[in-house]
Amino acid sequence: MNRYSDIIRKLAAEYQLPLADLRQLWQQYNDENNTNNDEKGILTTDRVHLNQAGNAMVAKAMLQVLGIGQLQ
């Protein structure tokens, strides 16, 4: 995931495109909120599907990049 995310970041910078860097947000959130290093239950229900916190994080990031506003 890190290599893929690095490529996406480079392309966004090269083409001057907005980027919702979900990988960076995910890692930061995990570092701050997952002190037990749990595989699931932090932002996902089963390591794949987002839970309420995961959906809110993605929505907030997308809204910020789109300039629409923020979630309350």
Residue 72: per-residue pLDDT? 56
Structural domain contains residue 55: yes
Give me the number of domains the chain comprises. 1
Q: Which amino acid is at 33?
A: N
- Does 72 fall in a domain? no
* Distance, CA of 49 to CA of 35 (rounded, Å): 21
Q: What is the pLDDT of residues 5-54, one digit of tens each?
A: 999 999 999 999 999 999 999 999 999 999 999 999 999 999 899 999 99
Residue ranges making up the domain that contains 8: 2-66
What CA–CA distances, in Å, run from 47 to 15, 17, 44, 54, 70?
32, 29, 5, 11, 26
